[in-house]
Amino acid sequence: PQTVADLDRALEVACRYGCHHLTLQADARPRTLAQAITLIEGWQRLAEQVDFPVLLETHRYRLTSDLLFTLDVLAQMPDLKLLADLSHYVVGRELPESATAEDDEHIHSILRHSWG
């Protein structure tokens, strides 16, 4: 979804078909953390109305494409649940094969917020 309204329509379809969970590839690229938080909070309000998990996927060219920005979001929203596709961070940030301790902690932080 790009907007809160987009998710509303997707949730209607997911409910109709009895989905187990819904994964969002947030097709939005807010310029500020505040803009991202406002959008995600709107999605969370809608997600509270359904009986299945709604997860924000870490994905390239999406709201969560940057590891450090996503960590900033998680710092503001510690209960946010992710579906972590770590490959986008490894490739996008060109993490070295022997990652630094800081890189390792960043990835573990994402995993701690991941569903499942």
* Burial environment of residue 43 by CB neighbours within 10 A (0 to 12, 13 to 18, 19 or more): buried
How many domains would you assign to the chain?
Answer: 1
pLDDT digits (tens, 9 = 90+) for 34-61: 999 999 999 999 999 999 999 999 998 8
11 vs 88, residue with greater confidence: 11
The closest alpha carbon to 19, from 10, 27, 32, belongs to 10
Phi, psi angles (nearest 5°) of residue 85: -100, 90
Q: Residue 28: pLDDT above 80?
A: yes
Q: What is the pLDDT of residue 54?
A: 97
Which range of residues forms the domain containing residue 39? 4-112
Query: What pTM value is reported for the model?
Result: 0.84
Dump pLDDT digits (tens) for 94-112.
777 787 899 889 989 999 9
Phi, psi at residue 56, to the nearest 5°?
-95, 120
Helix (H, G, I), strand (E, B) or coil at 48: coil
pLDDT at 116: 66
